[in-house]
Structure 1
Amino acid sequence: MKLSPNTAPASAQGSHMWVLTLDLPGRTMATHYGTSTPAANATRYDVFLAIRSFLVADNPEMASANTVFFSLEPNRL
């Protein structure tokens, strides 16, 4: 799965837009968002795990965080 920066022009954005909120109760909560183009055979669960892993790689303390919110939608109007 390719993740792209949030500021990419529409022509360079992924096929889907995602939002993920992680919470470490009593410590911190963080919401992240971006775009992604999942593999043709990827499931929603595959994408969720890939995004979560991507975020935890940058923020290892969030590895044990609870998922509060996850959304994955086609990136079109």
Structure 2
Amino acid sequence: MTSQTSTSANNTQAAEQGSHMWVMTLEKPGRGMTTQYGTWTPPAGATRHDVFAALRGHIVAEHPEMASANTIFFSLEPNRL
């Protein structure tokens, strides 16, 4: 299983997007993988770990079979060029 989803609507203007762009890949070796991405504005005072845990929780809520999956990739960057 491979999927891609976004937490923000496609073709939105930058002002409507979150402050950070993220990508996360979870894998259950030999059984499935999912890659999801989107933009999000973390709450004030949030740490990178807080964001990681919240996003992983979001993915697992949509794909419960990934609850015990390994995190293969995680990127969180400011959403600007």
**Residue of structure 2 equivalent to 1:31:** 35
More strand by share: 1
Runs of 4+ in 1 over 4 A off after TM superposition: none
Listed as ranges, the gaps of 5+ residues in structure 2 are 1-5
Q: How many residues align?
A: 75
- Is 1:44 aligned to residue 43 of structure 2? no
Listed as ranges, the gaps of 5+ residues in structure 1 are none
Spell out, residue by residue over 1:56-76, the C-alpha distance to the aligned partner (whole angstroms, 9 max, x if none): 001000000000000000000
**Residue of structure 2 equivalent to 1:54:** 58
* CA distance, structure 2, for counterparts of residue 21 and residue 15 of structure 1: 20
* CA distance, structure 2, for counterparts of residue 76 and residue 40 of structure 1: 18
Q: CA RMSD in A?
A: 1.4
